Structure 1
């Protein structure tokens, strides 16, 4: 199997224009994020928050939330506040992950990391500010969604970002650095929590906003779990095969930090095969939704073909 950095169009059984859809949704999300966080006094903290929040990126997490909400009959307007909040939380995790006490990285999305621009103290507070504001933003800005659904969304999101989700995965990731013979079970735990929990929340919360049934939530959860793990496997591959200019962050960090990765356990070809199988499994979970699931199917395909 040959690995390249070329992107291929997701194979669709319809005329669905995935990259047109992605570009249009990215534009809407960017505009909403820009409007969500104006600079007010004290300016320094808002500038630091905006610096990382508006630094670009694929915006896959908010788009997953919007696509799932629309799949189940909801609207863009219903989903956008939660979608923006998910990106705020994701950005918080990146700011904190880049700190010297964590991964100690100098670049993110092609720019200097937050602490390199504003200092470690302000970077920590910028992450804290984004996390707190994310929950406020959902509650104050969401329209036409019953209160009981919003409560479900907030509970799900809190669980995904806390010690039972993202934070717990990060702790295990730090503990595993430099440790030889990390098991596959431990590696899976790290990434289903550090990366997968928030990504799963993006999909499930989008469904909850639109009133998803318990059965629909189960299918959406399994879809997201599969693409979340596939996403991480591809990240591990790209850390080896891509350059900093392509990634927008330092390449080869996993090897330098002596981190266990999927390629270190399986090798590159087997890792790619596992990622492709996870995507197949993910798409199978969407069969109950029919043709309306094309955006989620396309995102699953995109995960294994992305170059950064």
Structure 2
């Protein structure tokens, strides 16, 4: 199943990258700011979030509907994810020197420019959705509301501060699940929910897919925690052991490596059950679930 989604990524990653950089290259803005934004956007990555949005859209869209309808949502999502990584790497946050095997943004430019590049990616993401002529006004409002909620204080940003506050203390499994549901899971919920919404899924189907994305986010985080212990630094693109160094709360720390793996397998089964309930258990989203669970970078 991993190869199924690996092939799906390979088939679509160039499309996502091309559209993403097209938005940025057309901006009439100060050159150093544009260079800083493009540096992190072009640093690589698997584009999992926009490709997840694409997979969800294609699971529901009619045969004659084109993927052009979701381009702005895909690009906006990846811009927000990239902004969060730029800010995560700053000295005041995780203080990382490498991201995707390259020096972090603030190491190449400077802290102030990195902060502004992140700010610019965040705010520009909403502009490109608002200006999308292929979306109705109602669709624009729904997508912007979903994305702002997922990335803001009730979502990713809220999860980030809870994650910081959990450093140097032991948290319960329930508390850790809540942290990572917000920090990682909310953007995944947006990807799945926005793709399904634009593909004309029913509100009931979208609601059930939130459960799928909830478990998908936890699967992603458990594997991240495991890779920080046993991963190959050359594949991951950054140093391992940072969780222990920063005294972060992780699944292996709480449950042990074997216990974390068992918990991840439990999440996989629950995620697939949600896909079964929606009736798209044979879609690329099922292969994605396995891919998240066994990825090695």
Per the normalisation by structure 1, the TM-score is: 0.91
1:63 pairs with 2:51: yes
Q: What is aligned with 1:89?
A: 80
Aligned equivalent of 1:105: 96
More displaced, 63-72 or 280-289?
280-289
Residue 50 of structure 1 is matched in structure 2 by 38
Alignment gaps of 5+ in structure 2: none
Match of 1:275 among 249, 259, 264: 264
Secondary structure of the residue aligned to 2:283 is: helix
* Aligned equivalent of 1:20: 7
Distance in 1 between residues matched to 2:136 and 2:83, nearest whole Å: 28
Aligned to 2:251: 262
The 2-side partners of 1:100 and 1:202 are apart by 29
What RMSD over aligned residues (CA atoms) do the two structures have, in Å? 1.6
Secondary structure, aligned partner of 1:267: helix
**4+ residue runs over 6 A deviation:** none
Distance in 1, matches of 2:280 and 2:176, equals 35
Deviation by residue 1:205-237 (Cα, 9 ceiling, x = unmatched): 111222322111112111100110010000000
How much does 1:291 deviate?
5.5
Q: CA deviation at 1:10?
A: 2.9
Deviation of 1:176 after TM superposition, in Å, equals 1.4
Q: Distance in 1 between matches of 2:238 and 2:151?
A: 23
Displacement after TM superposition at 1:183 (Å): 1.9
Residue 185 of structure 1: CA displacement?
A: 2.3
The count of corresponding residues between Structure 1 and Structure 2 is 293
Quick one: which of 210, 221, 228 aligns to 1:221? 210
SS of the equivalent of 2:131 reads: helix
**Counterpart of 1:137?**
128
TM-score normalised per structure 2: 0.94
